[in-house]
Amino acid sequence: MILDKFRLDGRVAVVTGAGRGIGAAAAIALAEAGADVAIAARTQSQLDEVAEKIRTTGRKALTVAGDLSDLSAVAGLADAAATEFGRIDIVVNNVGGTMPNTFLTTSSDFLEEAFRFNVSTAHALTQAAVPHMLDGGVGSVVNISSMMGREPGRGFLAYGTAKAALAHWTRLAASDLAPKIRVNAICVGSVLTSALDVVAQNPEVKAKMEAATPMHRLGDPTDIAAGIVYLCSPAGSYLTGKVLEIDGGLIAPNLELGLPDL
């Protein structure tokens, strides 16, 4: 049956930024598809909640709390997962983000920090996980990029540049690691996570964003999680080096920060 191609029975996944939002939804979805999951984030209590939901599916969970901007800690996550579960098949690089900023207040240090948090972390974890994936013969990596890495928007210079770099890193890594390890990304639109709490709590702003989105709604973390399962499963086995756009049809940013002109 075609649905069997979406199963991940016996696989092991590592998901960063998994304490809430897209990361949490992805970890639970991968477990529901049959994978054991190692999850990482800063806050142990959030990880414990997600781990409990993973275990209710009948799958195993490993929690690793820590600062994921520390590249050595991110790399160590791969070894922790392999030690606990004996293998790694899937990596979801979801850690990232950068606060909006004006052009004149975006320092070079701020730009480099955005690149480190959104790109270098993905590289460090993937590089550490690849040897374990090769032991199993095949693997799949999914990076969480953003439509701000594809379309211009005021205030998002550092964030958009970093996410654009992550999207192209995806293509380059896919070329390096094919055919044994597939590397894809998801270009995410506006998703109702904690990052958009201010939007969810303001009906007027929320309505404007929905009206500017062709699907006339904002995304749910499970929309992204479904795409992750597809890309990681045998159903997506012929895809590598691709950036899947799950953004409600956006062709321009739907969030205006109201920054003043120079």
Q: How far apart are CA 3 and CA 257, in angstroms?
A: 42
Phi then psi dihedrals of residue 238, to 5 deg: -105, 15
| Residues 116/219, Cβ–Cβ less than 8 Å | no
User: What b-and-e string marks burial along 228-246, b requiring 16 or more CB atoms within 10 Å of the CB?
Assistant: bbbbbbebbeeebbbbbbb
> What does the angle CA 123 – CA 222 – CA 21 come to, to the nearest 5 degrees?
60
Phi then psi dihedrals of residue 144, to 5 deg: -95, 105
Q: How far apart are CA 217 and CA 209, in angstroms?
A: 8
Structure tokens at 197: 């709490």
Starting at the earlier edge strand, list the strands of the sheet with 61-65.
61-65, 36-41, 12-16, 90-93, 139-146, 181-188, 243-246
The active-site residue, picked from 85, 117, 156, 159, is 159
238 is catalytic: no
Amino acid letter at 134? L
> What does the angle CA 197 – CA 199 – CA 204 come to, to the nearest 5 degrees?
150
Q: How far apart are CA 89 and CA 79, in angstroms?
A: 13
Q: Which of the residues are catalytic?
A: 159
